[in-house]
Amino acid sequence: MGTPLRSSYSATKWGLIGLTKNIWAMEYGEDNIRINTICPSSVNGERIEQVIKREAKYRNTTPEKIKAVYLSQTSLKSFIDAEEIVGMIVYLLSPLAKRITGQMLVIDGHTENLSMIEIEEE
């Protein structure tokens, strides 16, 4: 998903998705190699905190307000924990996922479009 101030980041992610779906999975499938892309939303930690601070500065508001808006855009009202991504990787490496390839697997707590963030004025 695209967000303001992050066009190069978004472009690289779409590139990986394209390579996964249209090239790698088809090229390596004959060798029984499965290729998938895991697409997590905001992951708890320093990186998302820096993103929030940068957006708060850009929008002339507080990081707390930006974080509250980000969280309000997800059905589960929380960021992703790194352990959840590890869990997806473990599953994909297991025999249970032997027919999953060429997929974009989203772990996002049902995140809506963050590019439409509206900050309420006080």
Average of pLDDT values for 23-40? 91
Task: Supply the pTM of this predicted model.
Answer: 0.77
DSSP string, the chain: ---TT-HHHHHHHHHHHHHIIIIIHHHHHTTT---EEEEE-PBTTHHHHHHHHHHHHHHTS-HHHHHHHHHHTBTT-SPBPHHHHHHHHHHHHSGGGTT--SEEEEESSSB--GGG--PPP-
Report whether pLDDT(22) > 90: no
- Give yes or no for a contact between 70 and 114, defined as CB atoms under 8 angstroms apart: yes
Q: How many residues does the chain have?
A: 122
Q: State which residues form the domain around 41.
A: 7-116
Catalytic site positions: 9
Residue 24 domain-assigned (yes or no)? yes
CATH number, domain of 70, equals 3.40.50.720
State the total domains in the chain. Answer: 1
In tens, the pLDDT along 73-121 reads 888 999 999 999 999 999 999 999 999 999 999 998 887 655 545 666 5
Residue 104 domain-assigned (yes or no)? yes
